[in-house]
């Protein structure tokens, strides 16, 4: 599923006020019947419309999916803005990144995989209509455009869940990060050995074809040997940093003492950038836990949170793994 919009797709959504037939919709948009059929088919795949048949007529209906309802309202309430021109193509891609939190130019460039010229052109276009603010060297949505941020988040979640269903029916969706997403294959371990082997073989094939890479404890296992096998993956086209891998391990199960123990050992072993670790934690709404981890490593005092491992246990495990620490 291509998450990007064409201008015609966005214009079509704004013209679905009732349940028009394909022919009526083609006239409203000013395109041929063949072209409107392709537009509607794309919008149906993206979860915006359904198609009902009444005799020889095909009617187009807006779905009840949250992202469909919100986009329709936005296009109606903000018809004074050229939203189709702003949100089509790579525009929605940039908006998706910023919906996860404030982003500087370097992060937008890295996560969007766009050329610098294309990114600057889109940012200039957004700023000309006050759709982005730039403060402390970071871009963000203005406070009065939170409805657009909410739509983007819902649309990203829909896309990510749809993609995961294609990747593996056994995958468990955890969270989206723009049009990227974190998931696990926990259910595979509950099957018989033979089915587990077949499932992993099928999934390995997907890894070779799609932008899927191990993360969290799965990626950390190369640095910190794990007793139990984990299946944590991230759908993305970019290379993950050690800091993001550590954050993903927390997000999978934020209050799991075992997971947090391995995260702390990984932080010590990989010598991650603490500022970047906190910045990425902000994007995933786990800042409190991440700060508690870093505070413990700075003071070696027992955290207040009951789910956090004790400093003495961390030191014991670090010794077992031959990891050095400083007090």
Query: How do residues 218-256 score in pLDDT, each as one tens digit?
Result: 999 989 888 777 899 999 999 999 999 999 999 999 999
201 domain-assigned: no
Do 264 and 249 form a contact (C-beta atoms < 8 A)?
no
Identify whether residues 36 and 103 lie together within a single domain: no
> Which residue has 């072209």 as its token pair?
35
The three-class DSSP label of residue 124 is: helix
- pTM for this model (two decimals): 0.89
Query: How do residues 255-284 score in pLDDT, each as one tens digit?
Result: 999 999 999 999 999 999 999 999 999 999
Measure CA 123 to chain center: 20
Instruction: Of 63, 59, 51, give the one whose Cα is nearest residue 20.
Output: 59
Q: Which domain holds residue 256?
A: 211-320
Identify whether residues 216 and 312 lie together within a single domain: yes
Identify whether residues 86 and 139 lie together within a single domain: yes
Give the torsion sign (CA, 199, 205, 208, 209): negative
Identify whether residues 224 and 134 lie together within a single domain: no
Q: For residue 204, is pLDDT > 90?
A: no
CATH code, 134: 1.10.10.10
How far is 242 from 78, CA to CA, in rounded Å? Answer: 41
Query: Tokens in use for 170?
Result: 């056994």
Identify whether residues 42 and 113 lie together within a single domain: no
Identify whether residues 229 and 280 lie together within a single domain: yes
Identify whether residues 18 and 81 lie together within a single domain: no
Do 35 and 78 form a contact (C-beta atoms < 8 A)?
no
Identify whether residues 225 and 278 lie together within a single domain: yes
Total domains in the fold of the chain: 3
28 domain-assigned: yes
Query: Tokens in use for 68?
Result: 């469909």
270 domain-assigned: yes
Polymer length in residues for the chain: 327
């Amino acid at each position: 599923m291509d998450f990007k919009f064409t201008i015609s797709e966005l214009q079509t959504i704004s013209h679905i006020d009732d349940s028009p037939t394909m022919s009526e919709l083609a006239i409203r948009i000013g395109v041929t019947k063949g072209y409107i059929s392709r537009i509607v088919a794309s919008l149906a795949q993206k979860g915006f419309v359904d198609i009902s048949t009444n005799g020889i007529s095909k009617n187009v209906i807006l779905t009840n999916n949250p992202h469909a309802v919100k986009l329709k309202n936005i296009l109606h309430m903000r018809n004074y803005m050229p939203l189709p021109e702003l949100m089509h193509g790579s525009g929605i891609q940039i908006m998706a990144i910023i919906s996860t939190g404030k982003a500087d130019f370097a992060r937008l460039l890295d996560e969007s995989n766009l050329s610098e010229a294309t990114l600057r052109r889109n940012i200039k276009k957004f700023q000309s209509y006050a759709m982005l603010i730039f403060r402390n060297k970071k871009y963000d949505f203005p406070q009065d455009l939170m409805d657009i941020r909410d739509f983007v988040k819902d649309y990203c979640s829909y896309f990510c869940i749809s993609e995961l269903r294609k990747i593996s029916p056994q995958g468990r969706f955890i969270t989206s990060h723009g049009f990227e997403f974190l998931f696990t294959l926990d259910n595979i371990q509950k099957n018989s050995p033979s089915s587990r082997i077949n499932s992993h073989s099928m999934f390995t094939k997907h890894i070779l074809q799609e932008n899927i890479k191990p993360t969290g404890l799965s990626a950390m296992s190369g640095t910190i040997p794990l007793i139990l096998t984990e299946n944590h993956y991230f759908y993305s086209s970019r290379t993950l940093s050690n800091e993001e891998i550590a954050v993903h391990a927390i997000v999978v199960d934020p209050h799991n003492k075992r997971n947090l123990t391995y995260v702390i050992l990984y932080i010590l072993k990989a010598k991650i950038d603490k500022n970047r670790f906190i910045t990425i934690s902000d994007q995933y709404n786990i800042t409190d836990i991440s700060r508690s981890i870093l505070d413990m490593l700075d003071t070696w005092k027992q955290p207040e949170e009951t789910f956090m491992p004790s400093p003495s246990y961390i030191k014991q495990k670090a010794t077992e793994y031959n990891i050095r620490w400083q007090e």
